[in-house]
Amino acid sequence: MTQTASIFLSLSIALLFGLLLSRLAKLVKLPAVTAYLVAGVLVGPFVLGALDVPGVGITSDQIEGFGIISDLALGFIAFSMGNEFRLAQLKKIGKHATVIGILQAVITTVLVDAALIGLHFAMPETLSLSSAIVLGSIATATAPAATLMVIKQYKAKGTVTEVLLPVVAIDDAVGLVVFAVSFGVARSLNSSGVNPLAIVFEPLIEIVLSLGLGFVMGLLFTFCEKFFHSRSKRMAVSVTFVMLTVAISSLKFEVGGIHIGFSSLLACMMLGTVFCNICEVSEELMERADRWTTPVLILFFVISGAELDLSVFADWTVVVVGLVYILARSIGKYFGANGSARLTKADPNVIKYLGITLLPQAGVALGMATKAIELGPEGEIVRNITLFAVLIYEIVGPFLTKIALSKAGDIKAEGKRSAREEHLAKKAGQGGE
């Protein structure tokens, strides 16, 4: 079997597993995203992939090559989130989202730092001070992908959902800054050759450049869209600009000892924000792009499940530190969101349920953990603990998000027929005429 055939067979099996498990998940009232992640574990390197049969399961070697699918999916997820920043909506919830997004992230970092630094003094050989500080900053990150998938699956709409997506976006922007500063402090603890200018300016430059790139691409997208009139070509333009923004965001270079880079999440989010605010037909195009990306998003979650490293359970120290991290982060997210929502006099449902919806953690956190490997042995511990936490959060988090949105009244009881049922009903009606 050729390598190309093996890759396509692995991806098709992964997609089929995800779809089949989503049907089982519906029977037990679990979100589809949880099923996709579990499917990824089953087809991944620790189950089917371990058989080392070409085309059956996803092997460790293949996962790295599938990174292009994950990058593209995250780009479309961020693009969709940009649709939540329409000016009319921001005037209504902008203050709440900004204050909550910043405060809950900072509170979570402080709480996780305190818990892990305390653990460091209790277990100095297991957890270093630099590792504890970096993990505290990683705790800020929330997974926009899982959250958005739950919202779309259940067509969630209401006061909590309106605040949730902007908060997640702001949360990740704050997380980039907090991580960069914490990472710089951790490196300074291990080495004296740290550039203080890089610690201060690198995260700020990344945020400014990413938002600037997204702004320019949004203007170009709106300009180019006017030259195409058919639905298929206009949808193709949407896909083109998201892919182009993701591609440019991957560029990295160095100036005067300062590393210059972009965040594809922030750039694509700004792309969607600019487009939805200045294009008259943006809602239609956003909806069409969502339909096109559904298989890509399913593959993204299945691949994410395959990336989860089950070997972290073999080290009891990782499990202990991971459980402390999960507990401290969960408390920080819930009470951070609760307290900051009270401060802004937000809706009672936002105060009560928003914190629970901020628990999922994946892509952004894993990206930070990958960067932390530069710390050496301490970075490896950070990566393993993050992997452990992501495994727990990604399986449990979407389910808790669904419960919170249901309790808040944003998810209504299913009363509509499926697309298949509607088609069969229509066909039966035509046959009876």
Token digits for 36? 């996709």
Of 225, 96, 251, nearest to 163 (Cα)? Answer: 96
pLDDT for res 96: 78
Query: 354-357 contacts: CB < 8 A, separation 24 or more?
Result: 354/100, 354/160, 354/163, 354/164, 354/167, 354/404, 355/104, 356/400, 356/401, 356/403, 356/404, 357/147, 357/160, 357/164, 357/400, 357/401, 357/404, 357/405
Element (H, E) at 429: helix 419-431
pLDDT for res 243: 93
Tell me the chain's radius of gyration from C-alpha atoms.
22
Q: Rounded to whole angstroms, what are the CA distances from 226 to 178, 215, 234, 282? A: 40, 18, 9, 11
pLDDT for res 48: 84
pLDDT for res 81: 74
pLDDT for res 428: 67
pLDDT for res 330: 93
pLDDT for res 215: 94
With H, G, I as helix, E, B as strand and everything else as coil, classify residue 254: strand
137, 368 Cβ separation under 8 angstroms: yes
DSSP labels, 166-217? HHHHHHHHHHHHHHHHHHHHHHHHH-S---HHHHHHHHHHHHHHHHHHHHHH
The neighbour count for residue 289, using CB atoms within 10 Å, is 22
Q: Give me the average pLDDT of each 10-residue run along the chain (433 residues).
A: 79 88 81 81 85 78 80 82 73 77 90 91 83 88 78 85 83 76 74 60 78 93 86 86 92 76 82 87 78 82 78 77 91 92 88 88 72 75 81 83 89 62 64 57
pLDDT for res 219: 93
Question: Which residue has 């055939």 as its token pair?
Answer: 5
- Residues 430, 433: Cα–Cα separation, whole Å: 5
pLDDT for res 420: 59
